[in-house]
Amino acid sequence: MTVGKTVALIPARGGSKSIPRKSIAPLGGKPLLAWSIDVARAVPELDRVIVSTDAEDIAEVARCCGAEVSIRPPEFATDTALVIDTVRHLLRTLAADGYRPRNLVLLEPTCPFRSPDDIRHCLAALENEDIDSVATFKLAELNPMRAWKINDGTPETFIPGANPWLPRQQLPPAYQLNGAVYAVRADRLPDGTASMIFGRMAALIMPPERSVDIDHPLDLVIAEAMVQETRNR
């Protein structure tokens, strides 16, 4: 039985609707998936890098980029499947092989610009025995104080009593998950939770330029422009 190690999981299902085969769409001359594999392999604290997928073409790209592959069941690759189910499936698969990691790092393939240090800072937080999970955040794109809901055609503030007309400087800071890094104590993952953060949680704030999350075709265009701008400097 191997215990006490740290494994990186990159979930890459084949059924993306917004961008077909999104995880292997080209970005900067290589598959999008390769960005996450490359950054994971640059972190010496990660003992294994595993791509979980239901698609053989994605699996082949993962292997060519130097990652291991775990084939997940179809029910964990639907539009409504939760990523935590893929995490649990991988942990069960590893346990059946006698491998029980202490830590698990989840890297969404749609976040290509995270750095090795972003991952290492999250892992460093887990060295505190009081911390169960860590996630990366960015400043919220829309402050919830400025959000609205519309009931029967009538707008009202999403937060009762909020003043959406306050200057930005007077709004309380708000953050959102950016999906770049989740680091958890795998040996403390509770049964039944749907969340990737649990127990005593910690947060790492990342800048917007490393928080790009590719969900729609326009996001891919913007990411490509960012890559080219960096290369032309």
pLDDT tens by residue, 136-156:
999 999 999 999 999 999 999
DSSP annotation of 25: S
Percent of the chain predicted with pLDDT > 90: 88
Percent of the chain predicted with pLDDT > 70: 99
Give dist(CA 219, CA 128) in Å, integer.
Answer: 36
pLDDT range class, residue 78, cuts 50, 70, 90? confident
Look up residue 50 and give its two tokens: 């595993």
* pLDDT higher than 80, residue 4: no
Q: 148-154, long-range: CB within 8 Å, 24+ apart, which pairs?
A: none
Look up residue 139 and give its two tokens: 């400043």
195-216 residues labelled b (16+ CB within 10 A) or e (exposed): ebbbeeebebebeeebbbbbee
pLDDT range class, residue 116, cuts 50, 70, 90? very high
Q: Is the pTM of the predicted complex or chain greater than 0.85?
A: yes
Question: Which pLDDT score is estimated for 170?
Answer: 94
Residue type, 180: A
Give the DSSP per-residue string, 25-68: SEETTEEHHHHHHHHHHT-TT-SEEEEEES-HHHHHHHHHTT-E
Please choose, from the candidates 119, 102, 118, the residue with its C-alpha nearest in 3D space to the C-alpha of residue 7.
102
Give dist(CA 94, CA 12) in Å, integer.
Answer: 18
Sort strands 175-185 and 201-205 into parallel, antiparallel or unpaired.
unpaired
Domains of the chain: 2-139+175-231 (3.90.550.10)
* pLDDT higher than 80, residue 196: yes
What's the gap between Cα 232 and its chain centre? 28
Q: Residue 21, Cβ neighbours under 10 Å: how many?
A: 18
Give dist(CA 148, CA 75) in Å, integer.
Answer: 35
Q: Residue 165, Cβ neighbours under 10 Å: how many?
A: 8
